[in-house]
Structure 1
């Protein structure tokens, strides 16, 4: 028996007769309308974006059952009947005509368009979308560095400065979430897709622009982009005299706030509208100084930055931000040189900045760092907290406060602040560096290593990065990697600290003459740093023909360390080192005067315990020396370094000392 067949024309006619065309068109139109309603009202109702996707999925799943029902059943005046009955009711189907073909084409187009919308929506939801502020949440924005379009290549500082000042204005508004400068500026030379930037920084809007300077005229173009839609929310181009740059930045900040439809409090509006009267030339010097502060914190950059801030102040003596810049630059230099004169100068500059503007965020960050360095920890915490009250997303304030908590021995609070900084700026190398350094100083080298290696990824041309990484490798016993990292650091910028570390590596290997030469090079770069003079004295101790220079080195180290103690009386490390220096000069009474209070204090960091052990050993107090070394090893001091340390050669026959060495520890564990 022959099975009946149906050709294509008959099948199309059958679809039309059974009402499948009409059902498909109605279904697609209804799905389209439902999607538009969901896309519009679900966010208003506070439902997540996934809810719209679920509507699409449900509509897609329901399409095929609807077509099957349309094939088998039909709605007639007599009620619901079988589609086959309606199709075979005796009505002869007309052949396909032009209107019928047009009708079929329109239905297919509608089906395809809805299908395309469905696929596109699923693809969009499959990717990570930049966050859009939900009802009641603060809008979020990142300010990108403005591109330098000037004919002169040395004007890059101008675009960065304009962007940074706009960012600072917006960051002072509690009604906005503003990505910090170091995060947005991370993408300066990468030319990434804006959606990629938004996903990385967690913002819904991006402000970008360009700056072109021609003599005394400046053209600034700016545009605000919605990172979800990719559309411009606002854009404008300004032609101004360079003297109107500050007012222009304030105008752009207002335009951004208005475009985002942010409702500002009276105090926030007052901060945004507060007039600033600064000489254009002074402001230009200030921007140049900030540009040098953003670079590697070596002696050359810090000195150049300070000189530029001073030129700004020579024109506008009441420019508070420039005084804060002087404080930052000179304090950065003090950390490297430990020169008391640098500290006093930084202190005076910070105080002047605070007197001129008590609401300037950079002033409180500078003040907090200054208080921490001088051991005034409670005042330091108060200054950082004041800065965070003015701008809750100030990462430098979290980092400074974390370092203050660390200096106070409050480890969990320090980690919480460092983690908050990383959360706010996931691309900021300094945040990882501070947390890694925190773990390093506490002997937790395995926790510190991945953080410092991440710093090297973010900051591959920084001598400080490779200096810290080399120290990390060395403490882990990876001496060759440490030497390579330190050598790379010296290639980038010969810093005193790295040269001193290279000297210490030679010291542990028994090359005391080579170590002394490295220490002399470090002293040439930082002649007021007591640690380098002390290191030189320790190396010369093992060179019999260098007794006069050794005595001179220790005496200089003692004089400089005593000045540091006056700056920060609560810091134990210089006191422990003073005890060691005095002991090596044979001044027993002076050594004990520094040493005894340290033993009475209780828990001490690894570095302090090391010098306590050295001083005790030199004074013939072997039991106290071994106690301090045991505590240091327990906290994380590497036993392999202890085995190579010539400073404790006279203790190597002691069983307690032998048990601290790698072989002794392994034997003890067995």
Structure 2
């Protein structure tokens, strides 16, 4: 008998067929069990591997052994007349037919099942309250043309090249982000998985991407080995992988090639006939590049000491290659963030930092007119110096060049606040946290602006997501404290800040803690360490009953920081509170040419949520007999408050603006209406709020006295949480007011 005939007689073909079909059924069951009972993601892969390995063993077994009435025996030991292979063949045929029917049914049946249809308008309306909460928590659908670049592993012999491996990853992330139609997960969230050996499917689900790029870098001497692999999250399939052994000087070409190969592998997802062609990375001396990468990592921490070290590294990089534009842009960013300006993290005098940052950003853009980081820092500087229109233009240009620039998108959101477009700000920041839910500056600003448009639920959800992902970290404690403050739990918020100050006492912690004390009337009685950023020291001194000291500090601040709108704002508010109307009017004439338009332009809230101090100017001009100037200032103030409200601002801050406006305008009842509204949204109000000069006309009003008593009660409740004695009514001067 021929070999094929013998295979047929021994039922080898039938056994193989049955094995293949039954294996398919087992694989489907394995995949279902993996999802249903949360088995590890490798479970179905192990099942497939086991079945594949077993297949040749089963075939050999079918050839070598035969089923007989006496049991399984070697085929060579069974005589032809005793063989029952024909009967076994019939049984195997029936099993195979049944298995094929099951297989066919599984393939065909879904085509005839009813498809899910969109709910009717009526059913949507009836379930709207339930669905809204579900939608709010739902993850956006995964986009096929989406990718996360995980930090490459450092496999260098000494293990001291982590910054280099991180830098390669970030360079690839930035290149891919520039490809139209590609969604790229942000750096912070992608890098959160560094060193965590988690399943790629889970990472893809968290980052909401369809593809993941991972790899390693091994650098030794002047040689480097880079391994990269592109993985499809849905099934773990490797779409592309490559290992590069190159000289370190070729690392830029390696980056370009990896990015291009990824685009080739993802052509279908990008819905393109051909992969887009990327622009080559900027070249520099490899030692300068190393210094730049290490510095960029340090700047990202927003830690003062780390950023000071970054400045040193960038100085070295620029000395090696004075034509490397990214180094200048990063140094400009470091100087800006290390200044003692509001919102920064360092102690370099703002004027000095600003001059250096200006020079560096101009140099960067002169060397490379398409450098996204250069435009981003330019936008931040423009916003700081009262030029919000230029800021928006620069930041939009930065995002055109790099849609994944987290800093640019965050700063753009803040710059849009200058004309009260808070809903637009919140939308911009939502896009930011969708790209990178762990980017801390974006998270804190998203919380603040959603609160101001009345969406505290979104604010809490964004904050809680960050806290869950980074439990115990300093920034998580800050965010928790901020959420408590916005939720009217000022005592608990302050306790967290005090705990944080014991562990990490820096300018930000100190300033945030001091303003909590400011709201609760805690000043001289506090003996712990705290300081306030120089621009805000006058406010602290006013709250502590030192108006002369506050005025001296405010004068010095505006002399030291003439470019910063915030310095002028503080100075004008202190002048008003100390009734220095003549000096305020003189400053208005000297610094703003006596022009309300110039005043409005320079003091627009480029990175703030508060309108310029129109009320203080109006009161001073009226006191100086300038009724026309008073009317113009009041009209501009009214327009600005309405603009903010039209932009979605429903915060207590706008209610307090309206209260001050109507008090100055002479409508005490309406003024108190807005104060009561502010108190209902956020209590307690700052103790100092009720002693403002702009509210002086309300002092004898019974409703104002009642509101002060209610506020004082809440202040004392929060003070008790901190262990401070209660304030009495004389603190507010309530004794002078008639009782109800």
The verdict on a shared fold, with TM-score over 0.5 as the criterion, is yes
Could you tell me which of 178, 182, 185 is aligned with 1:179? Answer: 185
Write out per-residue CA displacement over residues 136-176 of structure 1, whole angstroms, 9 at most, x where no aligned residue: xxx33221110112243442211111111122222222264
- Whole-Å separation in 2 of the counterparts to 1:465 and 1:624: 44
Give the equivalent residue in structure 1 for 2:317.
Answer: 312
Q: Supply the distance in 2 between the matched residues of 1:143 and 1:260 (Cα, whole angstroms).
A: 14
Partner of 1:38: none
Q: Which residue of 2 aligns with 1:192?
A: 198
**Residue 342 of structure 1: which of 350, 353, 361 is its match?**
353
Per the alignment, residue 574 of structure 2 pairs with 581
Q: 1:530 to 1:631 in 2, by over 3 A?
A: farther
Which residue of 2 is the match for residue 214 of structure 1? 220
1:141–1:203 contact (8 Å) kept in structure 2: yes
Query: C-alpha separation between the residues in 1 aligned to 2:673 and 2:562?
Result: 27
Please give the secondary structure, in 1, of the residue aligned with 2:212: strand
Change (3 A) 1:564 1:607: farther
Post-superposition offset of 1:331: 1.7
SS at match of 1:229: coil
* Separation in structure 1 between the aligned mates of residue 109 and residue 218 of structure 2, nearest angstrom: 42
CA contact under 8 A between 2:314 and 2:331: conserved in structure 1?
yes
How far does residue 281 in structure 1 lie from its aligned partner after superposition? Answer: 0.8
Superposition RMSD on alpha carbons, in Å? 4.4
How far does residue 232 in structure 1 lie from its aligned partner after superposition? 1.9
- 2:235 equivalent to 1:229: yes
Q: Is the 8 Å Cα contact of residues 309 and 326 (structure 1) preserved in structure 2? A: yes
Q: What corresponds to 2:412 in structure 1? A: 401
Q: 1:366 to 1:460 in 2, by over 3 A?
A: farther
- 1:559 paired residue number: 556
Q: Map of 1:66-81 to 2, 5 A cutoff?
A: none
Aligned to 2:131: none
* CA separation of 1:256 and 1:471: change in aligned 2, threshold 3 A: closer
Q: Structure 2 regions of 5+ residues with no counterpart?
A: 1-13, 25-82, 111-138, 589-612, 619-632, 645-651, 714-740
Give the aligned partner of residue 489 of structure 1.
500
1:252 aligns with 2:258: yes
- Residue 534 of structure 1 pairs with residue 530 of structure 2: no
Shift of 1:321: 0.9
Q: How far apart, in 2, do the equivalents of 1:574 and 1:503 lie? A: 18
The TM-score normalised by the length of structure 2 is: 0.64
For the structure 1 residues 188 and 558, does the alpha-carbon distance in structure 2 shift closer, same or farther, using more than 3 Å as the test? same
Q: Name structure 1 gaps, 5 residues minimum.
A: 1-21, 33-95, 134-138, 542-546
Decide which moves more: 170-179 or 651-660.
651-660
1:654 aligns with 2:701: yes
User: CA distance change for structure 1 residues 560 and 412 in 2, over 3 Å: closer, same or farther?
Assistant: same
1:473 CA drift (Å): 1.9
Q: Distance in 1 between matches of 2:551 and 2:386?
A: 25
Q: Provide the C-alpha distance between the structure 2 equivalents of 1:281 and 1:115, rounded to a whole number of angstroms.
A: 64
1:386 counterpart = 2:397: yes
Q: Does 1:162 align with 2:168?
A: yes
Q: How far is 1:560 from its partner?
A: 1.2
* Within-5 A mapping of 1:29-44: none
1:451-466 equivalent positions in 2, closer than 5 A: 451-466=462-477
TM-score, scaled to structure 1:
0.70
Of structures 1 and 2, the one with the larger relative CO (CA 8 A, separation 6+) is: 2
Distance change (3 Å), C-alpha of 1:241 and 1:225: same
What is the aligned counterpart of 1:638 among 674, 682, 691?
Answer: 682
How much has 1:208 moved relative to structure 2?
0.6
Alignment check: 8 A CA contact 2:554 2:567 kept? no
Cα gap change, 1:646 to 1:412, in 2 (>3 Å): closer
Give the count of matched residue pairs. 546
Distance change >3 Å, CA 372–CA 104, structure 1 → 2 = farther
Q: Distance in 1 between matches of 2:264 and 2:420?
A: 46
Residue 250 of structure 1 and its aligned partner are, at CA, apart by: 1.6
**Bigger mean CA deviation after superposition, 307-316 or 197-206:** 197-206
CA deviation after TM superposition for structure 1 residue 428, in Å? 4.2
- What residue number does 2:424 align with? 413
Quote the Cα distance in structure 1 between the aligned partners of 2:377 and 2:199.
Answer: 35
**Cα gap change, 1:504/1:429 in structure 2, threshold over 3 Å: closer, same or farther?**
closer
Displacement of 1:277: 3.0
Question: Cα distance 1:119–1:421, how it changes in 2: closer, same or farther (>3 A)?
Answer: farther
Contact kept? 1:279, 1:316, Cα under 8 Å: yes
Taking structure 1 as reference, are residues 659 and 332 closer, same or farther at Cα in structure 2, changes over 3 Å only? Answer: same
**Deviation (angstroms), 1:410:** 0.8
Aligned to 1:352: 363
Name the counterpart of 2:531. Answer: 522
State how far apart, in whole Å, the 1-side matches of 2:205 and 2:257 are.
28
Q: Deviations over 1:296-315 (max 9, x none)?
A: x1321222222222221111
- Residue 278 of structure 1 aligns to a residue whose secondary structure is coil
Counterpart in 2 of 1:361? 372
Are 1:100 and 2:87 counterparts?
yes
